[in-house]
Amino acid sequence: MLFGRSAEIAAIDDLLGRARGGAGGALVLRGDAGVGKTALLDLAATRAGSMRVLRATGAEPESDLAFATLHQLLRPVTIPAGGLLDALPEPQREAVRGALGLAGAASGDRFLLAAGVLSLLAEASVPDGLVCVVDDFQWVDRASADALLFAARRLSTERIAMLLSVRGTLPVKGLPSLTLGGLPPDAATALLNADITSATTRSGASASAGVGVEAGVVRELAALTGGNPLALREIVRLLSPAQLAGREPLPDPLPGGAQLFGEQVAALSPQARQVALLAAVEGDLDLVLRAAARMGLSTDSGRVEPRDAARAPGGSAADAGRAESHDRAPVLTGSSTDAGRAALHELEAAGLVLVPGAGVRFRHPLIRSAVHEAAAPADRRAAHAVLGGLCEGDRRAWHLAAAALGQDEEVAAALAATAVRARERGGYGDAATALARAAELTPDPVSRAARLKDAAVAAWLGGRPGQAGSLLAEARERAGSDPVTAAEIDQLRGRFELNSGSAAEAVRILSAGESLSMLADAMEAASYVGDTEAMIRFGGRAAAHPEGFLRDVLVGIGLMLSGDGADGGGHGLLVRALERVGELTEAAEFLWATAAASQLGEADLSAELAGRAGRVARVSGMAGQLPVVLEFVATGERISGRLAESQAISEEGLELAREAGYGNTVAAHLANLAVLAALRGEEETCGRLAREALAIAVPHRVGLRVGVAAYALAMLELGLGRFAAAHDRFTAMAQAGPGAGHPAVVWRSAPDRIEAAVGAGDTRAARAALEAYGRRSAHARTDESRALLARCHALVEDDAGGFEEALRLHANPFEAARTGLLLGERLRRAYRPGEARPRLRAAMETFEAAGARPWARRAQGELRAAGESAEPAPGPLLDTLTPQELRIAGLVADGLSSKEIAARLFLSPRTVEYHLYKIYPKLGITTRTELARLVVLRKAGTARQDML
């Protein structure tokens, strides 16, 4: 029974109830050691009823072993024969198998793995729901923690309740938490009296058995211990009956002090202390007993005395490991084995350890701490050395590292190999920890710098940019005069700055490189800043490299920006590069193809290629870079007029970027969401999102994202018909320099700028903008590019025929609606209302379908002025769907299964089915076939509107 925890129990019951109803979630129980977090987790497991329960406990000895906790948690649903894994989409299935060391190749992408864990938990929740309980989350290895937190933030549509307990100040972002305080005096009294009553029925009860605790004593104890249940229970065991009854004063200080279990550990026999120490550094029962037998149990001293070379003067940890490993499976017979088991029994009888199955677990983490702190450093190293000799793989490496005294290349190499295995499975955080420790043990300065560099990369990919920066700074100091390592470090410094720091500083760092990959990174950084001159320089330097796709793109972009596009061959190089798109396989390559198309003025092709980059990244993984890829995918969807899809992708990308710590990518998604809010006429939301984006992008000199945020504010004014204000904002954008604006944003927004200038009556500015836009778009080959240019000419010349030509060419329905609106306005004012009405009606319907309400109101007003008084017809049924539901509907229409959709969108198959369950009643349908038909009809309707 739990005392004084009614509020906490109510919160747990509420979480379990919501999970049973399909609206799951997570809850973090936070508090000091001994406050009762584990007891509440136990209670949750017992109240689960028919729900499946999965449990795991973080263990400090395993906190550096990638996926140790995840393996513990998921083992019941993955063993035997793969368990529920076969129900997962293939990319997710292989990622989980690889991470858990089962059959299959690891993807190395932590987002694929995390999505797979979510899908697996969703499968495990069938039929009655699932409760996941993870105790001591502060000691869960980083790889497991990342995957579990990813899943925990996405349980709102699952029948899953996840409860985590954490001690201390470990941040757990994005999850609700409940902080447990001490018990009030009444609850403390009930707890202690219940314990004492229970103790009278057991043999070996304490001296205080049967004695009640006086209320004043309880109040004093509660005040002195903060009401901590563990402290209360342990201290009461050490008090006399007279002290408990209040007849004698409490001792000052209270027994136990800060280390509640120090006296109990000190009271153990030397043999029990030795076994306790082994258990404190290794939780496997068999290994503990084998190590105890190897070391021998001294009966005349509390000091551990290994029987071999584990502590020989001058011997390394690796030497000790080899000495211990000459017999990997010793026959445990004789007095040492019996003594080890007897020592374990002593620990159990003292109430210090539990032996559940094949493991040894301390009754409370503070007991382990007391054992560890009571041992001499030499004894701890000796214990690790012997255990290292009995282990294999990652465990061996970590034990030998803990046993090392000074630098040791063999042990460092073993840890580096551990890091490689963790990294291959997507455990980047644990790989970073292993490599950082390996670097400490590495004698050679250059090798140490290389391992620090690799640790920085792993930390960066693991979403720990702060640690990555610190490791890289240390690597740079250690690199000395080695040019290769120094260049690699500089390239990484530049990449880190580009992701989370100053884009201008990234340009400065990367500009020192000569390799093609470093020049590509430098050009990318310069493009983020908007530094055209730097991009031209980097393109020129890339010309010295052999021909190839990337080289052609870099040189071609540089030539186009320099003004030598056609005559200088830049146009031809970019066209040649795009002709090789069919050969591309990597998401990064498709992003460079996106840049090439954009430079040619082909925004629609650029958007299509960005979408392909996103599809490749989702299926194959991109080493944690999916949030960055989604920047371009979301922008491409918006430019293509698919506003709901762009919204859903940016919302997803924003969440992933925040989790990964990619600050500049956060700004990118905020800026894109601001543009979408502007198109919907959501003035307050647009302003807030733009300000948040600018707060990151301006100090980081990310001119591209500053430009997009400024574009959002300008488009808000344009959509609301405030042409003068819009014209002022577009003019300011065009005049902004590198870091404060961006030429690509200026070019892409030229049609909007021209419309604002015409609306504001500034014909001169409109003509100047048109001339610049015409030069930039001169080599564009796609119909949509020519349509936008035709519309701009028609605006400036007030030429209805130009609008007709643009409508004939448009492939983008949203832009076609804007052109139709402009044409309809001019036809109405030319007293041709009959010709104007179909244009205006089609435009209004498209704007309504896209949720672009200001534009729809503008079209409706013109339609009324043209003599049509009817209100807009209700939007198509599909327009009632959320952005995520609309994406799923589109993929269903493309013929994808729920598994395939889940793999594409980083969802679980059951989450996809949940969304379909919501979609069907909204649309009044019951099958996928009907849904696909509605999507096809919507596309056909859009096509008909384009032809009007």
Q: Kindly report, residue by residue over 25-44, the tens digit of the pLDDT.
A: 999 999 988 889 999 999 99
Please check the confidence at residue 922 and state whether its pLDDT lies above 70: yes
Residue 414 has pLDDT above 90, yes or no: yes
Between residues 564 and 177, the one the model is more confident about: 177
Within the chain, what is the greatest distance between any pair of CA atoms?
Answer: 111
Per-residue confidence (pLDDT) for residue 734, from 0 to 100: 93
Q: Would 406-480 and 483-579 be classified into the same CATH topology?
A: yes
Annotated domain spans of the chain: 6-179, 253-405, 406-480, 483-579, 879-947
The residue count for the chain: 948
Asked whether the predicted pLDDT for residue 846 surpasses 70, the reply is yes
CATH number for domain 483-579, candidates 1.10.10, 1.10.3470, 1.25.40, 3.40.50: 1.25.40
Q: Which of 307-311, 516-520, 777-781 has the lowest mean pLDDT?
A: 307-311
Please tell me the predicted confidence (pLDDT) of residue 711. 97
pLDDT (mean) for 251-274 = 77
The reported pLDDT for the residue numbered 310 is 40
Residue of 381, 370, 379, 373 whose CA lies nearest to 347? 370
C-beta of residue 35 within 8 angstroms of C-beta of residue 69: no
**Residue 546 pLDDT:** 94
Cα atoms in the 13 Å half-sphere on the side-chain side of 556: 25
Distance CA 790, CA 813 (A): 16
Q: Which CATH architecture has domain 406-480?
A: Alpha Horseshoe (1.25)
Q: What CA–CA distance (Å, rounded) separates 626 from 906?
A: 11
Tell whether the model's pLDDT for residue 244 goes beyond 70. Answer: yes
| Mean pLDDT score across all residues of the chain | 86
Q: Which two tokens stand for residue 630?
A: 């989604």
Domain 879-947 -> CATH class = mainly alpha
Candidate ranges 97-106, 207-216, 238-247, 755-764; pick with highest mean pLDDT = 755-764
Burial 152-183 (b: 16+ CB within 10 A, else e): bbbbebbbbbbbbbbbeeeebeeeeebebebb
- Whole-number percent of the chain with pLDDT over 90: 49
Burial group, residue 135, by CB count within 10 angstroms (0-12, 13-18, 19+): buried
* Residue 171, strand partner residues: none
Q: Which residues contact 321 (CB under 8 A, 6 or more apart)?
A: 385, 388, 389, 396, 399, 400, 403
pLDDT at 306 over 60: no
Residue 713 carries which side chain, given as an amino acid letter? L
- Res. 870 pLDDT band, cuts 50 70 90: low
Please name every residue paired with 179 in a beta bridge, in sequence order, or none if there are none.
30
The winner for highest mean pLDDT among 173-182, 416-425, 691-700 is 691-700
Q: CATH for 6-179?
A: 3.40.50.300
Q: Answer yes or no: is pLDDT of 328 > 50.
A: no
At 873 the pLDDT is 53
Mind spelling out the 3-state secondary structure of 742-779?
A: CHHHHHHCHHHHHHHHHHHCCHHHHHHHHHHHHHHCCC
Residue 308 has pLDDT above 50, yes or no: no
Place of tokens 């109990």: 264
From 498, 490, 423, select the one nearest 461 (Cα to Cα). 423
pLDDT-derived band at 335 (thresholds 50, 70, 90) equals low
Higher pLDDT, 550 or 460: 550
Sign of the four-CA dihedral 815, 819, 825, 831: negative
More confident residue, 266 or 619: 266
Among 252-261, 370-379, 877-886, the range scoring the smallest mean pLDDT is 252-261
pLDDT above 60: residue 379: yes
* CB 443, CB 435: distance < 8 Å: no
Asked if the model's pLDDT at residue 863 lies above 70, the reply is yes
Q: How far is CA 171 from CA 153, 202, 366, in A?
A: 14, 42, 21
Higher-pLDDT residue of 51, 868 = 51
